[in-house]
Amino acid sequence: MPDSIERIEAFARVDHERMERQAMPEFIYADGKTPEQVAAIFSAMVERSGMALASRASVDHFAAVHARIADATYDPIARLIVSRGLPPNPIGQVLVIAAGTSDLPVAEEANGLLRFLGDSCELLCDVGVSGIHRLLSQIETLRCADVLIVVAGMEGALPSVVGGLVNAPVIAVPTSVGYGASFGGLAALLGMLNTCTPGITVVNIDNGLGAASAAHRILTRHRLSSSQRR
Amino acid sequence: MPDSIERIEAFARVDHERMERQAMPEFIYADGKTPEQVAAIFSAMVERSGMALASRASVDHFAAVHARIADATYDPIARLIVSRGLPPNPIGQVLVIAAGTSDLPVAEEANGLLRFLGDSCELLCDVGVSGIHRLLSQIETLRCADVLIVVAGMEGALPSVVGGLVNAPVIAVPTSVGYGASFGGLAALLGMLNTCTPGITVVNIDNGLGAASAAHRILTRHRLSSSQRR
Amino acid sequence: MPDSIERIEAFARVDHERMERQAMPEFIYADGKTPEQVAAIFSAMVERSGMALASRASVDHFAAVHARIADATYDPIARLIVSRGLPPNPIGQVLVIAAGTSDLPVAEEANGLLRFLGDSCELLCDVGVSGIHRLLSQIETLRCADVLIVVAGMEGALPSVVGGLVNAPVIAVPTSVGYGASFGGLAALLGMLNTCTPGITVVNIDNGLGAASAAHRILTRHRLSSSQRR
Amino acid sequence: MPDSIERIEAFARVDHERMERQAMPEFIYADGKTPEQVAAIFSAMVERSGMALASRASVDHFAAVHARIADATYDPIARLIVSRGLPPNPIGQVLVIAAGTSDLPVAEEANGLLRFLGDSCELLCDVGVSGIHRLLSQIETLRCADVLIVVAGMEGALPSVVGGLVNAPVIAVPTSVGYGASFGGLAALLGMLNTCTPGITVVNIDNGLGAASAAHRILTRHRLSSSQRR
Amino acid sequence: MPDSIERIEAFARVDHERMERQAMPEFIYADGKTPEQVAAIFSAMVERSGMALASRASVDHFAAVHARIADATYDPIARLIVSRGLPPNPIGQVLVIAAGTSDLPVAEEANGLLRFLGDSCELLCDVGVSGIHRLLSQIETLRCADVLIVVAGMEGALPSVVGGLVNAPVIAVPTSVGYGASFGGLAALLGMLNTCTPGITVVNIDNGLGAASAAHRILTRHRLSSSQRR
Amino acid sequence: MPDSIERIEAFARVDHERMERQAMPEFIYADGKTPEQVAAIFSAMVERSGMALASRASVDHFAAVHARIADATYDPIARLIVSRGLPPNPIGQVLVIAAGTSDLPVAEEANGLLRFLGDSCELLCDVGVSGIHRLLSQIETLRCADVLIVVAGMEGALPSVVGGLVNAPVIAVPTSVGYGASFGGLAALLGMLNTCTPGITVVNIDNGLGAASAAHRILTRHRLSSSQRR
Amino acid sequence: MPDSIERIEAFARVDHERMERQAMPEFIYADGKTPEQVAAIFSAMVERSGMALASRASVDHFAAVHARIADATYDPIARLIVSRGLPPNPIGQVLVIAAGTSDLPVAEEANGLLRFLGDSCELLCDVGVSGIHRLLSQIETLRCADVLIVVAGMEGALPSVVGGLVNAPVIAVPTSVGYGASFGGLAALLGMLNTCTPGITVVNIDNGLGAASAAHRILTRHRLSSSQRR
Amino acid sequence: MPDSIERIEAFARVDHERMERQAMPEFIYADGKTPEQVAAIFSAMVERSGMALASRASVDHFAAVHARIADATYDPIARLIVSRGLPPNPIGQVLVIAAGTSDLPVAEEANGLLRFLGDSCELLCDVGVSGIHRLLSQIETLRCADVLIVVAGMEGALPSVVGGLVNAPVIAVPTSVGYGASFGGLAALLGMLNTCTPGITVVNIDNGLGAASAAHRILTRHRLSSSQRR
């Protein structure tokens, strides 16, 4: 086993080279793991790389982590446990848009990860398509962003409209907000995949983490080429 | 068997009282019927009530009908065979909107039925949400209509935006336009059912006929109450 | 930000012009929002426009609202929190039909919204198709209505039969009542979308609110044209 | 290999005892078999038991069969190839109902098999629920039948209504007639499975053969008990 | 309102003529109704027709019923509340087969209804297809039955095998027993609909009540013809 | 009833010959059975054959079993209750691979059954495809195994990669680990069924037991032929 | 690029080391490739390794291959193009079972690949579960096999029954044979995944090639251990 | 109608400002439009903006376009009609990867659009996960790219592996390549959405155009910031 992979008891192998390969450390997906498992992996990461982040974490997960890592913090809406993170990087701007108030937890998950990764990020909320003027009044904010993450449930139409107004990449995040034939976010997911606006990409339902990671990958290359060019 | 039901050979029973009960004659759904069956039912209807309409009709269906009913006409885009219809009624205005050029056949099916039923109707095409200003430039036209039929494929977001701009009833028609995960119009259908704009109702995929019938039902009560009040 | 959009802390933007654009105020969808969020938005609406309605509200939501708005009332079957509403308007009559006793909560949601919007409304219950004479004995009531909202679970056949008996628009609401292969109302939804009766439109599963909004849009144009004509 | 199983070349084993076990001979499902395969199995059956029936047969299948069995006949609507059959049995009456003209091929498949099996059968067509009086005018015919096979596409509501009017078993057959969200008959199938009328059973989409076989099983026990009692 | 329909407060209309039309009284589907609603309908039925049955009933439903109807009994496995029933009728024999122990609740629901309707019924359990000799050792029992109700979850293969061994009608009941890709009984349902054994009919997932009602309809015609013939 | 089938009260028939026919005793699927039912079947098996295993067992199931069979043990992660088992057999080696920590419960279910059946088994954890070098560093371990069980959730890609590296049979087990459009493991299941690596077979979602049984069947023939050859 | 990977123009990279890694050469999946592409890859493989096999091949594919490789042969039922293959290996016996005549093409695909790989294979046809005695009469043949491939459409019940009779591994292959709610083989697939017989594994719909590859992997380890032991 | 929207007869409105808003001209989706419609829109675009591109175009579409625009060219694999395009821009590098030969048409659609938009692009083919060393041997090429478009059918696992090796954004394109339970690309789509590698985004099935547009949006911001910084 190469040195870069650390074995945590019988149940995990931490991939410490991921930072180098993917420009992000490995994250811990807490849901389905016991508090003890999460705490063991979390502290191993902090020890080795000086930072860690766990998503979909419950209060119980946090209690176990906090007992080991005193400076870990918990955001109950975003459900993130965080300890430190990458230094802020001023190059590149992400805008996270939540169609409605109920989409906020997913938007905050994206927001929290971006801050952990040192990326610059702003949040815009409750600008759904049924009152299109709410969105149009923000058009300058939209056009400034280098990456837009658009979080929406129900029919998931917001990314199509946003994508029509900007030239930057738009990452659409369907949420499980809705009822009846929304089928836990499937309606929004299908809507976003079938967008009539070219250039919109989609991540899994409620996957704020994935959207933020994708935005970070974009900014990483951005910074790389910009530093190479200088 | 009551006198109002006429038996056409072994395969059909024409419901001649439908005009009275539903304010529309019965229509013939040609798909899946032989040209001979369609022609027999069509001519029985014309004979008894002076008008007939067949939808989803092929050129072969039309040939068989035309051999019996000389004044029948065929619209190959809307796929309608029509003979005469109800007299024009000036009360109430329907606006049929097609998101893209590919949605035209369904929009024309709606349009064709409305003309057959004597309703006043206008058609607006290629105003999809990826270029929202195309729609906003038509806002006066939108607000004049008493009923709006909005035909869209792909993500089916247009009815949500239109419904946010008007106070009239909006009938959304998903079309099978799209590919991949549009699943023959299912994505648009789910999007429309999950609209965040209250007061939008939906008909089956590609069902221009159903949307036009619903619009006619609305105008029928409109006229009734308006005549009663006078 | 135009004056008509009011920002409630970080999580909501109330669309105060909606009354003008859509002839209805904005509603609050309480499910997935915290009691505090609902109460903040609710009281902002009451303050500005003198009325508010929240749907899918729990007792906890109501407690938070009631602490701020003393005259707010709660209907635990319809799950609506209401404060005041539009003045009664005598023009136009809505009939809400529930196929079975288990469909009542959805029918009452529709009913409650219509009363809030000042519309005239009657409720008919337990007239499912397995005992068709129960429905046929009410035929005069059916034919008087200007709009019919038909709420049904299981196979969702009732709107097809009702639509065959009247000339008014029929809005079908599938409910999640049923078991096994009803798939949370999907069977009823598909049944209603595939109705053989032309002119029936459908809203999302359990969406009494949407059906009532659509009925209100119909009556709004009704009243408009009727007042213009006078 | 027991004597009751006959091997036809490498590809089939005819189950000649099935008549004894199931009171029906084995049928040949022609679709997906070559004309030569169908003809070989068909003639082996006729030789051994004096009768045979192939369903979902094309004209090509028939040509190959007819070359070997001169008295075989073909019904192009029901798509059945038949040679002789069981003697007529007067005990028990089956009524096959087709909701619309487009459901006829499936109804005729049921009808054709029942005649082959010697059962007494009547056919009623175009009595769909959107004009409920067409059905109610036939109520005496409905109540005479010992078994009812109800064939319907679209929303598949007819069996629920029929089942509410009679005390005999109702076998529902969904058809693939419809478009859009009928999903090849899935909507009708789900509707029939979710019927609110107790005592309706369902067979596969377009499976007239299955429904007729089930009806024959019912009549078989009927006759048995009736003969035992005499 | 005809005299045969009794209105129970605002929420129900009891169909007292159902006994005459369908040879069964109306049943109460308790799930989704409040204990008070169930008790009110239950006692109205007992008062008028001397018997009642409620399915999918909880202990709370039973407590409310028992407070009004002292002789009502409750079977917690079948989840049925019963008061009296039809007199036993010796003509016709039903066999209920449960593939595994976990399918017993659904089989007992069928069993309980049949006893309520006075039908003669036997129960056979744990004879699934993975040990086919368990079934084959019961072949005489299988062949005696006039109707077989076969209850199975997982792959739902048992009805196909049983149907191949008997000439009586087989009613297949898929259960939600299983996990993973059983999708709440969908796998068993599809398996049964696609049976290769002709003459098997299917009811909804977990619908023991529906299967028993269908069996009762078969026996009703059986008895009728047998009494007419005497 | 043959002597090899033992009837446990009314609800179960133990198939004591299964060991002979399938080289494995019958297992008890505890989920959906009462603790009493599980304990009765479990002790009947131990009495007759000296061993028993129950899967998907809760602590309550274990309490009831333990009261009767003192040497029974319970693994709360694998959810297995075990009493003794088959003697260890050195021929053949199984490797169980879990893609991530969250897939461990399913991997442990497989592992536990293999030990019960006397098979030689090793477990490898947290070697998912997003850090492919973790897997490649274990290639010698992979190539030694005679059967590989690969347990993975999310996109289920691991079996495809593993299967490309070895010549032994690979049994893929999708898990319900994931969220959003994983649909309870459906995404992983479909991924594994559509593998581009020839020779991978799949069992149901979360079905560690099924995978281990399949591995045991392979080793059984292995041993048989190897003993015959000696 | 390592020497073991050969680049064929721009569109393919032949993996010549696969024989060593997976004990099988790479196969060509012809469907969706042009005849020219198939022929180029096919001849490159023959040149380098002395053998090749293409599946899902049309007559046009064969014509292009045959023009380059004179000894290539084509089986139009199995749709395989084959040139030579591995030498016959007497260790281990595969039995391929086809439930019905219509399942033969898939069974023959499996059969053809096994012969190409030098494995010993027998084919048993038309032994579906609706006449269970046809299968039981072959029980000795079943018990001799070291691996069983069971091919079935419709409800896919045959593997469950077969698996209950033998101790060898059973690989289930669902076919797209069926209609209506078989959904192109989905019903059979789900049935097989939900089998109540432990130890059955499943491959994709119609994937005879995958099943045969899995069988070959099993025999490969068989032979390896058997040769090591000698 | 603003000057930037040009109306082409009744069926289209060309959005000439899209270049400015989205840094791409509007494209023509040819499928479902008549050759005449495509040619009319195509030539209007060329006239006004000097370039045009139509996707999913048939030979018939091309013939109609070519008759009007002499320099238009057609790529039958990518199904693109192109006339001129944007000038080449050296900043930023896109790598398009096709898992197998059958995925080439979709990869070429992406490739063709990127060239039209002036972006720098390379294509890598046949590096699927079943022979992982084919991919690993290209790792330097992978790490150079600023954006990777990964096109794969079947289980769609390639993007997860690629994303684990690079720090650049990865856009996954599922293709409809596969059979059986691939359900027209759904399996690959779900696999990609459920990737365990953070930062992968997905477009619709077979949507090479969408992936290329997203890549272009990324490079556009790249260039913008890079030019601003200089």
Q: What is the pLDDT of residues A104-144, one digit of tens each?
A: 999 999 999 999 999 999 999 999 898 898 899 999 999 99
Q: Is the pLDDT of residue C124 over 90?
A: yes
C221 contacts B210? CB cut-off 8 A: no
Element (H, E) at G171: strand G170-174
The alpha carbon of E217 is separated from its chain's Cα centroid by a whole number of angstroms, namely 12
How would residue E228 be classed by pLDDT, with cut points 50, 70 and 90?
Answer: low
Does residue C20 sit at the A interface (CB-CB below 8 Å)? no
Q: Region A219-226: what's the mean pLDDT?
A: 86
Does residue G193 sit at the E interface (CB-CB below 8 Å)? yes
Direct distance between the N- and C-terminal alpha carbons of chain E, in angstroms, rounded to an integer: 39
Residue-level length of chain B: 230
Q: Output the average pLDDT for chain C.
A: 92
Q: Region E166-189: what's the mean pLDDT?
A: 93
Chain D stretch 45-84, residues whose beta carbon is closer than 8 A to a beta carbon of chain C: none
How would residue D4 be classed by pLDDT, with cut points 50, 70 and 90?
Answer: low
Q: Looking at CA atoms only, how far is residue C78 from chain A in angstroms?
A: 16
Is residue D207 helix, strand or coil? Answer: coil
Query: Which residues are within 8 A (CB) of H110 and not within 5 positions of it... i.e. 6 or more apart?
Result: H96, H149, H151, H173, H208, H209, H211, H212, H215
From A131, A133, A180, residue closest to C207, measured CB to CB: A180
From C101, C127, C181, residue closest to E33, measured CB to CB: C101
Residue of H190, H219, H221, H227 to mutate for A, most A C-beta atoms under 10 A: H221
- pLDDT for position D75: 96
Q: Which residues of B touch H176 (CB under 8 A)?
A: 180
Q: Looking at CA atoms only, how far is residue G138 from chain D in angstroms?
A: 7
- pLDDT for position B61: 98
How would residue D228 be classed by pLDDT, with cut points 50, 70 and 90?
Answer: low
Is residue B160 helix, strand or coil? Answer: helix
Q: Spell out the per-residue pLDDT of chain B, length 230, in tens.
A: 456 667 676 677 777 778 888 889 999 999 888 999 999 999 999 998 899 999 999 999 999 999 999 999 999 999 999 999 999 999 999 999 999 988 999 999 999 999 999 999 999 999 989 889 889 999 999 999 999 999 999 999 999 999 999 999 999 999 998 888 899 999 999 999 999 999 999 999 999 999 999 999 999 998 987 676 54
The strands making up B147-152's β-sheet, listed across from edge to edge, are B120-125, B93-98, B147-152, B170-174, B200-202, C200-202, C170-174, C147-152, C93-98, C120-125
How would residue H3 be classed by pLDDT, with cut points 50, 70 and 90?
Answer: low
- pLDDT for position F229: 53
Q: Which residues of D touch E27 (CB under 8 A)?
A: 198
- pLDDT for position D32: 83
pLDDT in tens, D106-137: 999 999 999 999 999 999 999 989 889 899 99
Apex CA G164: angle with CA G160 and CA G166, to 5°? 120
How would residue G193 be classed by pLDDT, with cut points 50, 70 and 90?
Answer: very high
Task: Find chains touching chain D: ≥3 CB pairs under 8 Å.
Answer: B, C, E, G
CA distance E137 to D190: 36
C182 contacts E10? CB cut-off 8 A: no
Q: Is the pLDDT of residue H225 over 70?
A: yes
CA distance A186 to B193: 12
| Dihedral-angle region of residue D156 (phi above 0 means left; psi in -120 to 50 means alpha; beta otherwise) | left
| CA atoms lying within 13 Å on the CB side of residue A35 | 11
Task: Confirm if A157 and B197 have CB atoms less than 8 A apart.
Answer: no
Neighbours of D192 (CB within 10 A): 35
Query: Which residues are within 8 A (CB) of B227 and not within 5 positions of it... i.e. 6 or more apart?
Result: none
pLDDT in tens, G119-158: 999 999 999 899 899 999 999 999 999 999 999 999 999 9
Query: Which residues are within 8 A (CB) of G168 and not within 5 positions of it... i.e. 6 or more apart?
Result: F217, F220, F221, G145, G146, G147, G148
Name the percent of chain C lying above pLDDT 90.
Answer: 78
pTM score above 0.90: yes
- pLDDT for position G228: 64
Q: Is the pLDDT of residue G102 over 50?
A: yes
The alpha carbon of G5 is separated from its chain's Cα centroid by a whole number of angstroms, namely 25
H180 contacts G207? CB cut-off 8 A: yes
Find, in chain F, the residue whose alpha carbon is nearest to that of G172.
F201
| Dihedral-angle region of residue E7 (phi above 0 means left; psi in -120 to 50 means alpha; beta otherwise) | beta
pLDDT in tens, C34-62: 999 999 999 999 998 899 999 999 999 99
Residue whose entry in the numeric block shows the structure tokens 């064709």: B112
C102 contacts E205? CB cut-off 8 A: no
pLDDT in tens, E127-138: 989 889 889 999
Q: Region F97-119: what's the mean pLDDT?
A: 96
Q: Which residues of A touch F181 (CB under 8 A)?
A: 185-186, 189, 204-205
H195 contacts F190? CB cut-off 8 A: no
H–A touching, 3+ CB–CB pairs within 8 Å: yes
E61-79 burial, b if ≥16 CB within 10 A, otherwise e?
bbebbbeebeebebbeebb
CA-based nearest residue to H78, from H196, H184, H207: H207
Task: Confirm if B78 and B108 have CB atoms less than 8 A apart.
Answer: yes
Name the percent of chain H lying above pLDDT 90.
Answer: 77
Q: Region C101-106: what's the mean pLDDT?
A: 93
Q: Is the pLDDT of residue F1 over 50?
A: no
Q: Output the average pLDDT for chain H.
A: 92
From A102, A125, A182, residue closest to C10, measured CB to CB: A125
- Read off φ and ψ for residue E82, nearest 5 degrees: -130, 140
Is residue E175 helix, strand or coil? Answer: coil
From D101, D137, D180, residue closest to B12, measured CB to CB: D101
Does residue B180 sit at the H interface (CB-CB below 8 Å)? yes
How would residue F209 be classed by pLDDT, with cut points 50, 70 and 90?
Answer: very high
Is C114 or A19 the better-scoring residue by pLDDT?
Answer: C114
G–C touching, 3+ CB–CB pairs within 8 Å: no
Q: Region E95-107: what's the mean pLDDT?
A: 95
Q: Looking at CA atoms only, how far is residue A190 from chain F in angstroms?
A: 10
- pLDDT for position G28: 94
How would residue C1 be classed by pLDDT, with cut points 50, 70 and 90?
Answer: very low
Task: Confirm if C126 and E29 have CB atoms less than 8 A apart.
Answer: no
Q: Looking at CA atoms only, how far is residue E164 from chain G in angstroms?
A: 4
Crossing angle of helices H208-229/A208-229, nearest 10°?
50
E185-210 burial, b if ≥16 CB within 10 A, otherwise e?
bbbbbbbbbbbbbbbbbbbbbbbbbb
Q: Region H116-122: what's the mean pLDDT?
A: 97
D–G touching, 3+ CB–CB pairs within 8 Å: yes
How would residue C23 be classed by pLDDT, with cut points 50, 70 and 90?
Answer: confident
pLDDT in tens, D11-24: 777 777 788 888 89
How would residue F152 be classed by pLDDT, with cut points 50, 70 and 90?
Answer: very high
Task: Find chains touching chain E: ≥3 CB pairs under 8 Å.
Answer: C, D, F, G
Q: Region F50-62: what's the mean pLDDT?
A: 97
Q: Which residues of C touch D198 (CB under 8 A)?
A: 130
Is residue A41 helix, strand or coil? Answer: helix
- pLDDT for position B22: 86
CA distance A182 to F5: 49
CA distance F71 to A15: 41
From H155, H163, H193, residue closest to F181, measured CB to CB: H193
Query: Which residues are within 8 A (CB) of D185 and not within 5 positions of it... i.e. 6 or more apart?
Result: D153, D174, D175, D176, D177, D178, D205, D206, G180, G181
Amino acid identity, position B98: A
- pLDDT for position E2: 53
F200-219 burial, b if ≥16 CB within 10 A, otherwise e?
bbbbbbbbbbbbbbbbbbbb
Q: Output the average pLDDT for chain G.
A: 92
Q: Looking at CA atoms only, how far is residue G132 from chain D in angstroms?
A: 10
- pLDDT for position D1: 44
- pLDDT for position G10: 67
Name the percent of chain E lying above pLDDT 90.
Answer: 77
What are the structure tokens assigned to E214, written together?
């269908």
Query: Which residues are within 8 A (CB) of A206 and not within 5 positions of it... i.e. 6 or more apart?
Result: A106, A173, A174, A175, A176, A185, F179, F180
C222 contacts B204? CB cut-off 8 A: no
CA distance G153 to G106: 10
CA distance E82 to E215: 19
What are F172's strand-pairing partners?
A: F150, F202
CA-based nearest residue to A111, from A102, A101, A119: A119
Q: Which residues of C touch A179 (CB under 8 A)?
A: 31, 56, 204-207
CA-based nearest residue to F57, from F41, F34, F40: F34
Is G47 or F177 the better-scoring residue by pLDDT?
Answer: G47
The alpha carbon of D31 is separated from its chain's Cα centroid by a whole number of angstroms, namely 16
- pLDDT for position C68: 97
Q: H helices of chain G, where?
A: 18-22, 35-49, 59-68, 104-116, 132-136, 139-144, 158-165, 186-193, 208-229
Residue-level length of chain G: 230
Is C194 or G9 the better-scoring residue by pLDDT?
Answer: C194
CA-based nearest residue to C209, from C113, C123, C121: C113
Q: Give the ipTM of the model, two decimals please.
A: 0.94
Residue of A103, A127, A129, A183 to mutate for B, most B C-beta atoms under 10 A: A129
H181 contacts G205? CB cut-off 8 A: yes
Is D160 or G179 the better-scoring residue by pLDDT?
Answer: D160
DSSP category for residue F87: P
CA distance F63 to F69: 10
Q: Of A216-230, E169-183, E189-203, H127-141, give the lowest mean pLDDT range.
A: A216-230
Task: Confirm if A48 and A14 have CB atoms less than 8 A apart.
Answer: yes
Chain D stretch 106-165, residues whose beta carbon is closer than 8 A to a beta carbon of chain B: 123, 125-127, 131, 133-134, 137-138
F31 contacts E126? CB cut-off 8 A: no
Instruction: Return the biggest CA–CA distance within chain G.
Output: 57
Question: What count of CB pairs under 8 Å joins G to H?
Answer: 58
- pLDDT for position H228: 64
CA-based nearest residue to A17, from B217, D214, F168, F131: F131
Q: H helices of chain E, where?
A: 18-22, 35-49, 59-68, 104-116, 132-136, 139-144, 158-163, 186-193, 208-229
DSSP category for residue D86: P
Q: Region G36-46: what's the mean pLDDT?
A: 95
**Cα-Cα-Cα-Cα dihedral sign, residues E218, E219, E220, E223:** positive
- pLDDT for position E1: 43
Task: Find chains touching chain H: ≥3 CB pairs under 8 Å.
Answer: A, B, F, G
Does residue C91 sit at the D interface (CB-CB below 8 Å)? no
A177 contacts C32? CB cut-off 8 A: yes
C-alpha gyration radius of chain F:
18
- pLDDT for position A22: 86
E–B touching, 3+ CB–CB pairs within 8 Å: no
Find, in chain E, the residue whose alpha carbon is nearest to that of F4.
E134
Find, in chain B, the residue whose alpha carbon is nearest to that of A126.
B196
Q: Region G67-95: what's the mean pLDDT?
A: 96
What are the structure tokens assigned to C29, written together?
């969808």
Is F126 or B9 the better-scoring residue by pLDDT?
Answer: F126
Q: Is the pLDDT of residue F156 over 90?
A: yes
F161 contacts H161? CB cut-off 8 A: yes
Q: Of C29-33, F50-54, G201-205, H167-171, give the lowest mean pLDDT range.
A: C29-33
| CA atoms lying within 13 Å on the CB side of residue B8 | 23
From A2, A29, A205, residue closest to F181, measured CB to CB: A205
Q: Output the average pLDDT for chain F.
A: 92
Q: Looking at CA atoms only, how far is residue H32 from chain B in angstroms?
A: 6
D–H touching, 3+ CB–CB pairs within 8 Å: no
Find, in chain F, the residue whose alpha carbon is nearest to that of A37.
F101
Q: Tell me whether residue G107 is exposed, middle or buried, using C-beta atoms within 10 angstroms of its C-beta: 0 to 12, 13 to 18, 19 or more.
A: buried
**Cα-Cα-Cα-Cα dihedral sign, residues D70, D71, D76, D80:** negative
Q: Is the pLDDT of residue G107 over 80?
A: yes
